[in-house]
Amino acid sequence: MNAAAVPRLLILETSSRTGQVALALGDELRGVRRLEEARRHARDLAPATAALLAEQGWRPRDLQAVIVSRGPGSYTGLRVGIMSAKAFAYATGCALLAVDTFAALALQAPPSVSRLDVLADAQQDKIYVQSFIRSTKGWQPASALAIRRVADWLATREPNAWATGPGLSKWASHLPADVPRLDASLWEPQPASLLYIGLARYRAGERDDPWTLEPLYLRPSSAEEQWRGRASGATD
* Domain positions in the chain: 3-101+189-221, 109-186
Question: For residues 114 and 132, what is the distance between their CA atoms, to the nearest angstrom?
Answer: 8
Same fold, 3-101+189-221 and 109-186: yes
pLDDT average per 10 residues of sequence, the chain (236 residues): 78 92 98 78 84 98 98 91 96 98 98 98 92 96 96 96 97 94 97 98 98 84 47 50
d(CA 71, CA 77): 9
Assigned CATH topology for domain 3-101+189-221: Nucleotidyltransferase; domain 5 (3.30.420)
**In this predicted structure, what is the pLDDT of residue 125?**
87
Q: Three-state DSSP class for 148?
A: strand
- pLDDT over 90 percentage in the chain: 79
Please give the Cα distance from 162 to 184 (Å, whole number).
Answer: 12
CATH T-level topology, domain 109-186: Nucleotidyltransferase; domain 5 (3.30.420)
pTM: 0.89
